Amino acid sequence: MMTRIKNVLCFVVMSLMAYTVGAAAQIITFNNPAPWITQRNDSIIVKAQLDMSTFSSKKITLAVTKVENEKKVVLKEKTFKVKDVTQDFFVGRAGIGLIGGKDYLQIDWSVPKTTDKGSFAPIGIVNLAAAEKIDAVHVHKAGGEIAAVVAKEAHYTSLQDQQFALLWNDKQLVVAIKKSSAKDVIRFAFDGKNGKNAFLSYPDKIVDFVAEKDSLSAYDYERAYKDSITYTAKSWKNDIAKVTENDCVIITIPWSDLGLLPFDGRQFGFSVYIVSANQTVTAALPKQAKMFTPGTWGTIVLDK
Q: How many domains does the chain have?
A: 2
Per-residue pLDDT tens for 28-71?
Answer: 899 999 999 999 999 999 999 998 887 777 899 999 999 999 89
* pTM higher than 0.75: yes
Q: Same domain, yes or no, for 164 and 106?
A: no
Q: Is residue 2 part of a domain?
A: no
Q: Which DSSP symbol is given to 133?
A: P
Q: Which domain holds residue 144?
A: 137-302
Pairing relationship of beta strands 215-225 and 205-210 according to DSSP bridges: antiparallel
Q: Is residue 3 part of a domain?
A: no
Q: Same domain, yes or no, for 258 and 287?
A: yes
Q: Is residue 4 part of a domain?
A: no
Final residue of a structural domain among 98, 126, 154: 126
Distance CA(120)–CA(35), nearest Å, equals 6
CATH code, domain with 270:
2.60.40.1190
- Long-range contact set of residues 73-80: C-beta below 8 Å, sequence gap at least 24: 75/105, 76/44, 79/112
Task: Order across the sheet with 28-32: list the strands.
Answer: 28-32, 43-50, 86-93
Q: Is residue 113 part of a domain?
A: yes
pLDDT at 220 over 60: yes
pLDDT score of 102: 97
